[in-house]
Structure 1
Amino acid sequence: MEHIEVITTTQRRRRYSGQEKAQFVALAMQAGSSVSSVARQYGIAPGLLFKWKKLMQDGGVTAVEANDQVVSSSDYNALLKKVKQLEQMLGRKTVEAEILKDALEIAQAKKYISHIPLLLPPDDIQHNK
């Protein structure tokens, strides 16, 4: 005899915490248990539980090999985006610094020119008065 479930309402996606996912994967990996049976028991799509199991196995191996923690791909992508933003900001600041340096050189050159006395013949100075 099979059990048939009729769904009459639309439900939003359920969000599982990392701890819940790890618990479901651990249950599926116990001796005498299967991913499909755990998925049916907790109302999870089997494909989703298989995916969590693979991710946990791959992530666990990666963490052990690297002797480091595993970072989610969304966190990794967010960090890459932040690095790109910071690189762009650094580029703009570098250009600003170059412009200010050039402006300072020009200002200093004009300052020296304005302090040089005019070398006009004495009779030209008196005609201008």
Structure 2
Amino acid sequence: MGLSPEHMLMSGYVVIADGGRRRLWSAAEKLRIVEETLDGSASISEVARRNGVSANLLYRWRRLMLEGGSVAVTGDDDVTSNRLVRQMDQRIRKLERQLGRKTMEVKILREALDKVRLKNRHC
């Protein structure tokens, strides 16, 4: 069995090292590359080849940017839609109102308890 230089034999196991490394793209690089796809002068595949990035990754960056803007591409995270953000804001406001009511109830009950205790002391 002839092993190429990329292979080595270690303790009966063959380790295959493709020599490939993942490139870390800066936010500025991602944005620049995605912007190249937006002018329509070249296909996404062409832009990907020209910049040494996989077409699938470029499609992902483009989708993230179109859905969430440059912030999504920067972090390469899932995008939270505006609708979901509005729903979460509404939920927060509702919970804050509930908390305010409960805080007020506790204050009223505490005052009532203090009055009962004071009344019991005078009896």
Higher relative contact order (CA 8 A, sep 6+): 2
The normalised TM-score by structure 1 is 0.47
Would you tell me which structure has more strand in proportion to its own residues? 2
Tell me which structure has the larger Cα radius of gyration.
1
The normalised TM-score by structure 2 is 0.48
